[in-house]
Amino acid sequence: MGPAGRPARGPAPHRRVVPGAPRGALGVSDGGGAVPAISVVVPSHDRPLRLRWLLNALQEQTLDPAQWEVVVAHDSSGPETEELLRTHPLAAAGVLRHLTFDPGPGPAVKRNAGWRAARAPRILFTDDDCRPPRDWVANGLAAALARPDAILQGRTTIDPDELAVRQRVPHARSQEVDPPVPWAQTCNILYPRAVLEATGGFDESLPLAAGEDTDLALRARALGAPYEAAPDVLTFHCVEPATLLARMREVQRWEHLPFVVRAHPEVRDGLPGFGTCWKPAHARLPAAAAGVTLAATALARRRPGLLGAGVAAVVPWALAAAPRYGRDPRGVARSVSELPGRFALDVAEFTALARGSVRYRTLLL
């Protein structure tokens, strides 16, 4: 949503026609033949291996290929993604089309371009770090036919082939969604095309993946679109290993979440800290930070009483933030050992949100 409260399309993105692509709008084939019943839209950026796994999973879908299509919009800097999209069997089968951007546009721009280039009346969004089961598109179409006017959020679980990474790497990133949740994540969500057209699509003023999906769903719901769960529409989300420093850099994108809260104050309902905090751990973070400072002072001055008070102040945050690895001694020891890193990550998130609160003049921490 734009600053004046109107649906914002943003400036026209800088697109370049894919060299040698079939004739058609924006450098993709116009498809020809019958209009598909459902279109899968994927934004991508410099993840050719993950994108290949996604396309391979889509190649195995049970739904008749004549009933669906895939549109990938990417701004990858290297040649691997372009080569993949040209040579993948889905492209040869006429199921896969793609748009190529100069590097720079965020996911909102690419998703908008993707659904506008798509031909179906139903748009199923996913990301290039997901890998759906064989019945994902078929189940998505069935759910959409049963509830044709509704936004349908599917279920997302950790990729079972990558659970070991989650269990062994302290700061790995993944996503789980048990629908419906208010954030309307686009890793697995279906929109009627008419709803996207009525809202103008994603707000392209948001440069990163940081609330543009939530903003779109809330604008659509304000126009009367139902928002419902479709748990049978299941996809798997990858597990990305990352260092603590990489995760701390990544969470800086949450600076833009206060924008969503400013545009949609109803988001505060149910948030912790009387609607001022994004996560329960954030509501307890200031007291924990004070406790860490107090404990450090107590150790420096050898004052056991102060040390106990400092530790007590940290405990509520630790209970909310600690990762769960089971109740056995080994699992508990691992959870405790990761608390310093979790504290640093929460501080990074909190700081980004505080910066965004100032930028957008709306408190969200």
Whether 15 shows a pLDDT value over 60: the answer reads no
**Mutual angle of helices 280-301 and 339-360, in 10-degree steps:** 120
Whether 266 shows a pLDDT value over 60: the answer reads yes
Mean pLDDT of the chain: 88
Architecture of the domain made up of 25-242: Alpha-Beta Complex (3.90)
Q: Tokens 């629908």 label which residue?
A: 179
> For position 255, what pLDDT does the model report?
92
- Among 23-37, 175-189, 249-263, 350-364, where is mean pLDDT lowest? 23-37
Whether 155 shows a pLDDT value over 50: the answer reads yes
- Quote the distance between the C-alpha of residue 259 and its chain's center: 16
pLDDT band at 301 (very low <50, low <70, confident <90, very high): confident
**C-alpha distances in Å from residue 56, one per residue of 7, 84, 191, 238:** 35, 11, 24, 14
Residues 6+ apart with CB under 8 A from 353: 254, 255, 257, 258, 278, 282, 364, 365
- Among 10-19, 150-159, 345-354, where is mean pLDDT lowest? 10-19
> For position 145, what pLDDT does the model report?
98
Percent of the chain with pLDDT over 70: 91
Whether 352 shows a pLDDT value over 50: the answer reads yes
How is the chain split into domains, by residue range? 25-242, 272-360
> For position 22, what pLDDT does the model report?
29
- Quote the distance between the C-alpha of residue 89 and its chain's center: 27
Whether 121 shows a pLDDT value over 70: the answer reads yes
pLDDT band at 322 (very low <50, low <70, confident <90, very high): confident
Average pLDDT over residues 250-258: 90
pLDDT band at 32 (very low <50, low <70, confident <90, very high): low
How would you classify the pairing of strands 188-192 and 151-158? antiparallel
Nearest to 130 by CA among 86, 83, 77, 189: 189
How would you classify the pairing of strands 122-126 and 188-192? antiparallel
| Integer Cα distance of 90 and 143 in angstroms | 24
Nearest to 67 by CA among 28, 30, 40: 40
Give the number of other CB atoms < 10 A from CB of residue 350: 21
> For position 334, what pLDDT does the model report?
84
The token pair that represents 102 in the structure block: 């100069």
Average pLDDT over residues 333-339: 88
pLDDT band at 33 (very low <50, low <70, confident <90, very high): low
Higher pLDDT, 356 or 1: 356
Average pLDDT over residues 315-330: 86
Amino acid type, 311: V
Is-contact 361 257, C-beta < 8 A? no
pLDDT band at 296 (very low <50, low <70, confident <90, very high): confident
Whether 131 shows a pLDDT value over 90: the answer reads yes
- Based on its alpha-carbon atoms, the radius of gyration of the chain, rounded to whole angstroms, reads 22
Q: What is the pLDDT of residues 52-102, one digit of tens each?
A: 999 999 999 999 999 999 999 999 988 999 999 999 999 999 999 999 999
Q: What is the pLDDT of residues 172-188, one digit of tens each?
A: 888 999 999 989 999 99
> For position 159, what pLDDT does the model report?
94
Average pLDDT over residues 132-160: 98
